[in-house]
A and B are shown apart, each in its own frame.
Chain A
Amino acid sequence: MDRTAIIGVGMTNIEAEKRRETFADMAWEAVNKALSDAGMTIADIDNVVTTSSDFWDGRTISLMAVGDVSGAAEKNVSCVEGDGTYGAFYANARALSGSYKTTLVTGHSKGSQCVSSLITNAAFDPIYERALGMDMVTACAMQANAYMNRTGVKPEDAALVSVKNHGNALKNPVAQLPMNITVNDVMASEMIADPLRKLDCSPVSDGCCAVIIAHESVATKFRQKPVWIRGLSFCTDSFFFGDRDLARSKALTEAAKKAYAMAGIKDPRKEIDLVELYDAFSYQELLWLEEMGLADYGKAAARLKAGEFNLDGALPVNPSGGLLSGHPVIAAGLYRIAEIVLQLRGDAGAHQVKKAKTGLAHGVNGLCGQSHCVWILDKEK
């Protein structure tokens, strides 16, 4: 099969409320940062994929609103509704199709401009569920209870994820919530929905991320070192939350297995050097690691406690600070990809991890991880 690579990334700072910037202003910043990172001009981009959600943006055909600033004028532009990792998946498919050489993919959202609980409530079935008022936070609280009941993991075990990730964010200039906190601080924070406390939850955020994916025939023609795409896959579970095993995430296990197989990875625990994953809530970092086969089921908490997932641990997880330190919905997964790219190039600055040859980026779409997208990226082709 032909190969593809990521040859440029751009991220805006993640902030609670970007009042100075519209959607287009954010995209303009991220796109130009990515072009500059790649050493390209917009003329070098031959097609565009934007990732957004009409419901979050509060407008119909939201891709059209960021087309101009993404250099889509007179080019083929398409939109993916969902997390940025899925937009990038499509962008990669385009690069592999033979029809395109360089695909610019963006993901944007502004949680500050809407009432996020009403938006996520609208994801539920309108006939049977929506009127009951559940949103993403309450749904994930129920998943957390199911997970903890099955595994014996305690809220204070999961709280350590928040401590680690907010601590890592102190070293990441784009993070929204760098914080030096303790497990006691997390456990003393306001109870939102049992067992989730305020510091177990990711914040409402604004941000935009842009990534440039190139076919191998042009991947080394520009200034930047390419980071090679070795494997990628996504997999989806049942829509109705009540149809799934709430304490597990089979879709993630499948997505990870397929991504590892495509990358030729036999033992992910030995071959993957670092992970950026979708920690919308503290317990999710543990559950996602386990379902990706990077820890035994129910045992990630013990390894976290032993420091293995720290910035200087055996398997650094979310060295950027993760979603707990900034969660621009839709863009969040694309930020994970961009962060892995910086790490593999050695460009992550203060939060650079030591050994970074092969990295895993993970995105989620849907309630409580209905769908997962897994990327294996590598410094070497």
Chain B
Amino acid sequence: MAEKEQLIIESGDAAQPFKYAVGMHGSKFFTETRDNMRLMGLKCPKCGKVYVPPRGVCGKCFVEMDDWVEVGPKGVIGTFTILRFAFIDPETGQQKPVPYGYGFIKLDGADTLLQHYIDIKDESKVKIGARVEPVYAKERKGNTRDIEYFRIID
């Protein structure tokens, strides 16, 4: 059978750019992480729940939050996975080297979990409930990668 040729219509270098507002709560969170290596959450004035990452509204209570509290920097793994299939990094468009660890971290003093990378040098230590601490980037730019990953502390 003759090999079929695919019709490919490409956009060349054109992209559909979006520009997201970080917002006032994100700005505070990232500024504190970048400048002071402090992790900040917002506390609901009604139910007292501390939200990390911080956002303006406690959805359950339907009230605005403006009570900033410092959380962490240490915490525990709420849940995790180790990714073993090649995956396109949305930041770079390149395939990300595997394996690497993902986790939801419950920072001390927070009531919600923060999504981030987990160091998996010793896979046997990667467990729900394991204590972790952030490893900060040397050059911090005010984004989520200012924390490089969380590492397990014995």
Residues of chain A touching chain B, judged by Cβ–Cβ distance below 8 Å, are: 115, 117-118, 121-122, 124-135, 137-138, 141-146, 149, 190-196, 238-243, 246
Contacts and interface: CB of A to CB of B under 8 A. Distances in A.
B104 to A, nearest CB: 5
Interface in B135-151: 143-145
Interface residues of B, number: 38
Given A117-B88, A126-B20, A132 B82 contact: no
| Chain B, interface SS category | mixed
Contacts of A138: 81, 83, 102
Contacts of B52: 242
Interface string B9-45: 0000000001010110010000000000000000000
Nearest to B6: A19
A192 B83 CA distance: 6
A130 B84 CA distance: 19
Residue among B84, B104, B128 with the most chain A CB within 10 A? B104
B26 A132 contact: no
Contacts of A149: 79, 128
Contacts of B83: 138, 141, 192-193
B140 to A, nearest CB: 14
Contact of B79 (A127, A131, A146, A240): A146
A133 B90 contact: yes
B96 A133 contact: yes
Contacts of A146: 78-79, 128
Interface string B58-97: 0110000000000000000011111111011111000010
In order of increasing CB-CB distance, the 5 nearest A-B pairs are: A242-B113, A141-B81, A146-B79, A128-B53, A193-B81
A117 B88 CA distance: 8
Contacts of B59: 238-239
A191 B123 CA distance: 15
Contacts of B84: 190-194
A132 B80 contact: no
Contacts of A242: 52-53, 78, 104, 112-115
Nearest to A197: B84
A133 B104 contact: no
| Chain A, interface SS category | mixed
A194 B26 CA distance: 31
Interface of B: 18, 20, 22-23, 26, 51-53, 55, 59-60, 78-85, 87-91, 96, 102-104, 112-117, 128, 143-145
Nearest to B113: A242
Nearest to B83: A193
Contacts of A137: 85
Contacts of B51: 243
Contacts of A238: 59-60
B88 A115 contact: yes
B26 A127 contact: yes
A127 B114 CA distance: 13
A62 to B, nearest CB: 15
B88 A193 contact: no
A134 B115 contact: yes
12 contacts: A124-B115, A128-B26, A128-B115, A132-B117, A133-B90, A133-B91, A190-B85, A194-B81, A241-B115, A242-B115, A243-B51, A243-B113
A114 B1 CA distance: 27
Nearest to B91: A131
B143 to A, nearest CB: 7
Contacts of A142: 79-81, 102-104
Contacts of A130: 90
B21 to A, nearest CB: 8
A143 B128 CA distance: 12
A196 B23 CA distance: 36
B121 to A, nearest CB: 16
B98 to A, nearest CB: 10
Contacts of A192: 83-85
Nearest to A142: B79
B41 to A, nearest CB: 11
Contact of A145 (B26, B53, B80, B96): B80
B128 A145 contact: yes
